[in-house]
Amino acid sequence: MKIMVINPNTSRSMTDHLRQELERIKRPDTELTVVCAEKGPETIESAYDEAFAIPPTLELVKKANQEDYHAIIIACFSDPGLEAAKEISKIPVIGIEESSLHMAAMLGAKFTVVTPRRQRIPSKREHVHIRGMGHFLASVRSLDLSVAETDSNPEMTKKRVLEVAKQAVEDGAEVIILGCAGMAGYAPEIESKLNIKVLDPMAVALKVAEAVVELGLVHSKIGLYSTPPEKAFK
């Protein structure tokens, strides 16, 4: 199966990081193409950045459909443009935030989302509630780091996650979600030092995408994700 992983920011470093981690855990028969937008924010750390990232992301979604991919992953924990991408795509589009929130809800009574910047805590709470999962949310905790730092400084990031995870346990969390694509690959080491389940949203999204393709599933087109009129693409 062919899966396109779209990094909605323009960071080549983060894109290479994602490619390296996903190649390590993909199925042998999965062919991955990991790309980033040519235009847009270098990192996504605000609502403005999310909005800025959506148009080039949707162009890559169209490209994946035209080139006969079997699934798409949007590799940002804000899931920028996810609903629009599902509307215009004939193949499954998996958001790393959406898929990991649902997975966390299956693994424990409460989860905590760990996000890089403190300013993004309200938006992460809102995303959980919009998906009707507020009763699973123990807390949203901040690392007080930039998105770029989570990618460029793994050791500092892991240290901060370990500190924040202890607070999350006090909040009642049974599952920790690493709420940034820049933390791809960090979960196993962090989990080995904690008595709590730690989710890497990139890994979750990849395995969900592989399963969805194998099951022959795609988004329903009769309502919420129905294809817009052709004029919407002009």
Res. 234: pLDDT tops 60: no
Question: What is the C-alpha separation between 196 and 194, in angstroms, rounded?
Answer: 5
The residues that bridge with 94 in the sheet, in sequence order, are 73
Closest of 103, 64, 68 to residue 86, by C-alpha = 64
pLDDT digits (tens, 9 = 90+) for 15-24: 999 999 999 9
The tally of CA atoms less than 13 A away on the side-chain side of residue 160 is 19
Query: Which secondary structure element, helix H or strand E, spans residue 161, and what is its range?
Result: helix 154-171
pLDDT digits (tens, 9 = 90+) for 43-72: 999 999 999 999 999 999 999 999 999 999
pLDDT at 233: 55
pLDDT at 205: 98
Alpha-carbon dihedral 42, 43, 45, 47, rounded to 10 degrees: 60
Residues 6+ apart with CB under 8 A from 116: 45, 142, 143, 144, 145, 146, 147, 149, 150, 179, 180, 182
pLDDT digits (tens, 9 = 90+) for 120-149: 999 999 999 999 999 999 999 999 999 989
pLDDT at 229: 86
Termini Cα distance of the chain: 30
Query: Residue 195: which pLDDT band, with cuts at 50, 70 and 90?
Result: confident
pLDDT at 230: 73
Query: Which secondary structure element, helix H or strand E, spans residue 102, and what is its range?
Result: helix 96-107
Res. 231: pLDDT tops 80: no
* pTM score of the predicted model: 0.95
Residues 6+ apart with CB under 8 A from 3: 30, 31, 32, 33, 69, 70, 71, 72, 73, 206, 209, 210, 213
Percent of the chain predicted with pLDDT > 90: 94
pLDDT digits (tens, 9 = 90+) for 88-127: 999 999 999 999 999 999 999 999 999 999 999 999 999 9
Question: What is the C-alpha separation between 43 and 182, in angstroms, rounded?
Answer: 10
